[in-house]
Amino acid sequence: MKNSRKVLSLILAALMLVSTFAFASCGKTDDGKAGGAYNIPIVCGETGMNDVCGVATYGVNYYNLGVAAGDMAADILLNGADVSAMPVQLDPAPALSVNTKVAGEIGFTIPEAVSSNASTGDTTIAVTPVAEAIVAEGGDFTVGILQLVQHVALDQSNKGFQDQLSVRMSEAGKTVTILDQNAAGDQSNCVTISESFVGQDVDLIYTIATSAAQSAAAATEESGTPVLFCAVTDPVSAGLVESMEVPGGNVSGVSDINPVADQIDLIAELLGKDDIKIGLLYTSSETNSVFQIGLAKAECDAKGYTYVDKGIGDINDIESAFIALAAEGVDAIYIPTDNVLANGAANVHSINIGG
Amino acid sequence: MFGTITAGISQGFIWAVLALGVYISFRLLEFADLSCEGSVTLGASIAAMLIWKGLNPFLASIIAFCGGCIAGSVTGILTTKLKIPPILSGILTMISLYSINIHIMSIATGTSGTANLSLLTFSKNTIYGVLRTALGLEKTYVTLICGAVFAVVIIAVLYWFFGTELGSSIRATGSNEKMCRAQGINTDTTKILGLAISNGMIALAGSMLCQYQNFSDVNMGVGSIVIGLASIIIGETVFMKVKNFALRLLGIVVGSVIYRIVVAIVIYSGMPSTDLKLMTAVIVMVALSLPIIKNAFYASSKKRKMRSEAAEIDAEVTKNG
């Protein structure tokens, strides 16, 4: 016991020493920014994050993605469309939005050329849901919804899907029973829920997020129940579809890939120059983020921008990664669509403004 | 309903392998080993990566078991040789496995930072896929048969092993470490060995799980320790009076199957999905408190019996008096 205490206190002392050095070295590269305000313009992969910490971005609207998936579902159920031949859909028109509040706080002027292009108002597709088309039991069709975890964007995709499906059903004079399940972030539940849907003989399974889609795809191997996915960034490498154009199996859906290349180009437009250094901040364990960072690097290489990338392991790493990027002297930071960083968006902003 | 329950049972058999692994560290060694959450994913990542590389799935599962053994030994060495407290050693292994698992999965795809490895295109080359083609049965039944056979074989091997001199010394280490050392047993070695076997089995469960659900994900281990512990406790509650070691191991398999069936029923019943976690907690809570409720029930019925006997004596005394 005494020994272990000694070891622990030694480790603690070592950690303190290391962190003191780390802070000291950060202080040096900050050029006297004692308050820690970095004021680096940030471009995010999605509008939700942009509202908190970004200056401008092209946004994917998760409600719209859900609506697109709802249309696909209606085509399958009502018109007997073949899933294997339904191309994976993308957000039809990502809208440019600027955040003057954050820009003001970090003292960044958004160029007239960008702000005049920004769409005004909401880009959400207006859908008036028909409540009567969704019945608790005994509808003409049964649709199972499997959502990986409670999350604002994913909830939007769920709502958009149900709203649009109800509209299409009422137009056709049909009703649908929806079994809405959430795995609460536990992947073992995804499997159980998928098996349960197959056992209940549902007509279609709508899955939200990658591992939910993979579970449903595995569970429907024999039954061939159509599976639609949403909020999957790279369905090909997730093994869900053979290609974006021709899925080839019983799985298709809507990808939530954001226009990464456009967003990188937006940084150059915002800064008003081509000789720029971009910091890429992402969670290294999220396949989707890594995929987007790959696209971002490709775009940087194509346009001749220099870049530094910093991957984080979890939400506690945000500060050190941000400081490291600032120390590299980046002109702007790009954050892809990333669950961990979306949750830590407020943290990113407060580090940036030194608050 | 029937399909849901069979799926629940077949999943229960896979999780039983994990629960047996947790049982070795948690009950036999009295060691709360948190590396479990990393080892599940380690097993899954190794198996998925090797299957991607075209290796025989059975061989891949065995290699996954070995990988888990290494992870377990690391926890053991951290705690015995470096004297790091048990919980912290487990956590250290668990968090380092997070990065290691991503590296392992990255070997398959060739792109760094692969956190999710799909086996959907390799589903014919998993243990279940191979057996399905060989037996010509549905996936659920193959999983069921395969899981049951695995469970029986593992129980037999564990029963044999923990009966040997080495196995007994591992069990003795958990019961009374000081006494063990007094008998000339090197408890460091037995601890490391016990943790290696425990994590090996957990990794084996992970490899089976990933072949069952056709993908490996860096977060798939989250919550697995809770499922493992819940299975052990449900099993112990059901097989409360049993002293035989093999039957106690069987109890854990039963506990794991019961747990998955209950979760499947909760999901099937269509209750609001927000309450899923709460329901799971309630199930574990009920299982944990069952022995106490049972005892309280016995005690109160005994009291009542004694009271009625006393009343009878009183009545007799007054009659005769």
pLDDT tens-digit readout, A118-145: 765 567 888 899 999 999 888 999 999 9
Do A285 and B113 count as a contact with CB atoms less than 8 A apart? yes
Candidates B193, B201, B124, B187; CA nearest to B157 is B201
Please answer yes or no on whether A187 and B112 come within 8 Å at the CB atom.
Answer: no
Q: Find how far residue B3's CA is from the centre of its chain.
A: 24
Q: Please list every residue in chain B whose beta carbon sits closer than 8 Å to the beta carbon of residue A287.
A: 113-116
pLDDT one-digit tens code per residue, B204-239:
999 999 999 999 999 899 889 988 998 998 888 888
Q: Where are the domain boundaries for CATH 3.40.50.2300 in chain A?
A: 39-59+259-352, 62-114+118-255
A239, B118: Cβ pair inside 8 Å?
yes
List the single best residue of A198, A207, A214, A295 to mutate versus B (max B Cβ within 10 A): A214
Contact between A287 and B85 using a beta-carbon 8 Å cutoff: no
pLDDT at residue A285 is higher than 90: no
* Separation CA B301–CA B241 (nearest Å): 19
pLDDT in tens, B53-100: 999 999 999 999 999 999 999 999 999 999 999 999 999 999 999 999
Instruction: Mark yes or no for CB contact B3/A198 under 8 Å.
Output: yes
Task: Name the CA radius of gyration of chain B, rounded.
Answer: 23
Looking at the complex, report in whole angstroms how far the Cα of residue B119 sits from the nearest Cα belonging to chain A: 7
pLDDT at A21: 55
Taken in order A180, A185, A190, A196, the sign of the CA dihedral is: negative
Interface predicted TM-score (ipTM): 0.79
Residues A214 and B257: their CA atoms lie apart, in Å, by 23
Q: Look at B84 and A4 and tell me if their CB atoms are within 8 Å.
A: yes
Fold (topology level) of A62-114+118-255: Rossmann fold (3.40.50)
Q: Which pTM was predicted?
A: 0.75
A chain contacts of residue B206, beta-carbon cutoff 8 Å: none
What's domain A39-59+259-352's superfamily in CATH? Response regulator (3.40.50.2300)
- Nearest C-alpha neighbor of A94 from the set A124, A139, A127: A124
State residue B203's pLDDT score.
97
Query: Measured between alpha carbons, how far is B252 from A343 in angstroms, rounded to an integer?
Result: 38
pLDDT band at B311, cuts 50/70/90?
confident
Query: Hey, are the CB atoms on A313 and B115 less than 8 Å from each other?
Result: no
Select the residue of B1, B219, B276 nearest A189 (Cβ to Cβ).
B276
Q: How far is A324 from chain B (nearest CA, A)?
A: 20
Cα–Cα distance for residue pair B42/B65, rounded to 1 Å: 9
Placement of tokens 């002293």 in the chain? B243
Task: Report chain B residues whose CB lies below 8 A from the CB of A218.
Answer: 120, 123, 212-215
**Domain range annotation of chain B:** 2-222
d(Cα A105, Cα B65) in Å, to the nearest integer?
54
Q: Is A239 helix (H, G, I), strand (E, B) or coil?
A: coil
What are the tokens at B251?
């109890």
Question: What are the pLDDT digits (tens) for A69-121?
Answer: 999 999 999 999 999 999 999 876 677 888 888 999 999 988 888 887 776 55
B133 has a chain A CB within 8 A of its CB: no
Q: Is B283 on the interface with A (CB under 8 A)?
A: no
- Among B139, B104, B129, B143, smallest CA distance to B13 is for B143
